[in-house]
């Protein structure tokens, strides 16, 4: 019964993958980033394409 319940749903506890660039390289997920780079990524603002910010 327990096994059947497990089979009826997919993806429990599976995180989304979030790919970001760090020192030129891409990193598959941010789990392995160090704390400073995580903070830096968190602070990044988007740049608009207009003449001014």
Per CB under 8 A, residues contacting another protein are: 7-28, 31-37, 39-40, 43-53
Helix (H) or strand (E) holding 52: none
Rank residues 2 and 51 by Cβ distance to another protein and give the closer one: 51
CB of 29: closest distance to another protein in angstroms? Answer: 10
CB of 51: closest distance to another protein in angstroms? Answer: 6
CB of 42: closest distance to another protein in angstroms? Answer: 9
Q: In Å, how far from its chain's centre is CA 13?
A: 15
> What's the rounded Cα separation, in Å, for the pair 47 and 40?
15
> What's the rounded Cα separation, in Å, for the pair 39 and 49?
25
């Amino acid at each position: 019964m327990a096994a059947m319940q497990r089979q009826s749903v997919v993806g429990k506890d599976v995180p989304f993958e979030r790919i970001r660039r760090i020192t030129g390289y891409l990193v598959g997920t941010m789990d392995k980033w160090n704390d400073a780079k995580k903070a830096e990524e968190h602070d990044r603002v988007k740049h608009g394409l207009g003449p001014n910010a």
